[in-house]
A and B are shown apart, each in its own frame.
Chain A
Amino acid sequence: MDVRGEVLLPGAARGRVLTLAAPISFWGGVDPRTGDIIDARHPDRGKNIAGVVLGLPGTIGSSSASSVLLELVHAGRAPAALLIVEPDAILLLGLIVAREMGWPTPPALKCPADLLQDWRGRDMAISEDGAIAAV
């Protein structure tokens, strides 16, 4: 299976897909030092998003989500890539700034929700042009 996501921020990456079971607020929901999901009410609490291809069914907006994502990149605990159903500009701003800082920046792609569910737990590779393929 080889599909193409809409490239929000380009880049190549590979990793195991972790598709979250519910939308998340990065601010207060993810520990910026470790990548652990810390939101007590989130169904994926306790999982870690560092190095995974993170599937986000949605985000709960906080104006500090971008700070948390930048902090994760700086700490080397960011996801390998973000696959997002509905692009959240405030969250992605963290990646835009990371790129400006010259730090290794995970790519972000827009993907349909049903594919994110299908890919859960699988190893996938993402290429610069947005192609997403099983490895």
Chain B
Amino acid sequence: MLELTDDERAAASGARGEGAGMAMRIVAEAARLMGALRLIKVASAHIDGALYHGDSGTLFAEKLVEGGARVAVPATLNVGALDLTGCARVRLEGRTREMAKRLMRAYEAMGCAASWTCAPYQAGHRPAQGSDVAWGESNAVAFCNSVLGARTNRYGDFLDIACAISGRAPDYGLHRPENRRAVFVFDARALQPELRNSDTIFPVLGALFGRIAGTDVGVVEGLQGCCNDDRLKAFGAAAASSGGVGLFHVAGVTPEAPDATTALGSRAAERTVVVTPAMLADGLAALSTASGDQIDAVAIGSPHLSLAEVDELARLLGQRAAQKTIYACTGRHVMKIIDADGRRRALEKQGVAFVVDTCVVVTPILPEKGGVLMTNSGKFAHYAPGNTGYAVQYGSLSDCVESAVEGRLVRTDPIWT
């Protein structure tokens, strides 16, 4: 049976305002349904609830605002359905556009930072290892748990903001150390070392990992010395798209896995999956749905591009212009810098369309006529066919840039040979 502290009970009864009361009651009810025995304090929140799915979400957020609700902990916002900076034109009109905007404004009014990014962990929001937080959005959750070692469940719409306002979360799931232990090993050591040290492979491995994991926690072997934040970001986003992955460990890399034995809690793995070159080839092929050499657009930045990734885009493009638009999704934290140093204008002249505050698979930005979208993102590859109607060609950033310049599919990455 869930037990609340006196303080929590007082908040739930509306002692700190009706909005705060509503938030505490939602967290407590969720805790009861999850079988939690108590609530725990959270240090921060990342909120996915400001993406418009229908009017009811807007009405919910506005009711919280009317009730005087404010976030009790630092809270960043994930993407919304609109680009409030005006960088990209989103094809939502009339009442839908108005309700989507009201939703975004309501979350800002509650004191959430207008970060509007799915990579908050590259925009300065990096909770301490071992701290309890309440994060939403599957890639952000995976990165937060796995790479930062902070503790969160996959908090979905409504519960994310309720946790942020109440400063509490149900004590269950990945908040509890016993549930963070790996139960299976994902062994990539059979793959060629140079392959393991390429950007292209991380979304592919992530998608394979997600399919094998379901919601189980696993530890990856064989990526020591091959990882950086952007690669782990790509792995986690793909894993959280193809499976219900909220936490993964990488032996010798992530904070709770100095080695596989530690990640497994010194117990035997329930299963070990050895990644073979054939599995990798299948995984690579599965990320593309198109055939032939047609491409109509390129989309990068799911999760949002880091400054380093924009640098790499600029380096690969050089002085050339793209024949097919390169949609580059990123956050204000990156735009502020490239706006100031002139790179934004230069890249826009070369055929790059920046998309800020949102991204091309959650809201209509890509031209309506459809066609083939090329991407280096495992997450875009997963969601683009269903959400945008575009077929997908997956490839490295370098091949994406070459293809955009040539106006047709170009593959030079050795992974295809």
Q: Does B48 contact A (CB under 8 A)?
A: yes
For A73, what are the chain B residues with a Cβ–Cβ distance below 8 Å?
56
A28 to B159, CA, bound (A): 20
For A94, what are the chain B residues with a Cβ–Cβ distance below 8 Å?
158
- The majority secondary structure among interface residues of chain B is helix
Contact A32/B54 with A63-B154, A65-B156, A70-B60 known, Cβ cut-off 8 Å: yes
A110–chain B nearest beta-carbon distance, Å: 10
Asked whether, in the complex, the Cβ of B55 is within 8 Å of the Cβ of A74, the reply is yes
A33 to B57, CA, bound (A): 13
Asked whether, in the complex, the Cβ of A101 is within 8 Å of the Cβ of B59, the reply is yes
Chain B CB within 10 Å, residue with most, of A74, A89, A93:
A89
Interface residue stretch chosen among B26-34, B126-134, B229-237 = B26-34
- The majority secondary structure among interface residues of chain A is helix
Q: Does B181 contact A (CB under 8 A)?
A: no
A100 to B12, CA, bound (A): 12
Asked whether, in the complex, the Cβ of A97 is within 8 Å of the Cβ of B60, the reply is yes
A119–chain B nearest beta-carbon distance, Å: 23
Q: Does A67 contact B (CB under 8 A)?
A: yes
Contact A67/B30 with A90-B156, A93-B158, A100-B25 known, Cβ cut-off 8 Å: no
Chain B CB within 10 Å, residue with most, of A66, A68, A71, A97:
A97
Q: Which of A8, A67, A90 is close to B57, meaning CB atoms less than 8 Å apart? A: A67
For B244, what are the chain A residues with a Cβ–Cβ distance below 8 Å?
61
B405–chain A nearest beta-carbon distance, Å: 35
For B158, what are the chain A residues with a Cβ–Cβ distance below 8 Å?
66-67, 70, 93-94, 96-97
For A71, what are the chain B residues with a Cβ–Cβ distance below 8 Å?
53-57
Q: Does A5 contact B (CB under 8 A)?
A: no
B188-245 CB contacts (< 8 Å) to partner A: 215, 244
B214–chain A nearest beta-carbon distance, Å: 10
Residues of B within 8 A of A (CB): 22, 25-26, 29-30, 33-34, 48, 53-57, 59-60, 63, 136-138, 154-159, 215, 244, 386
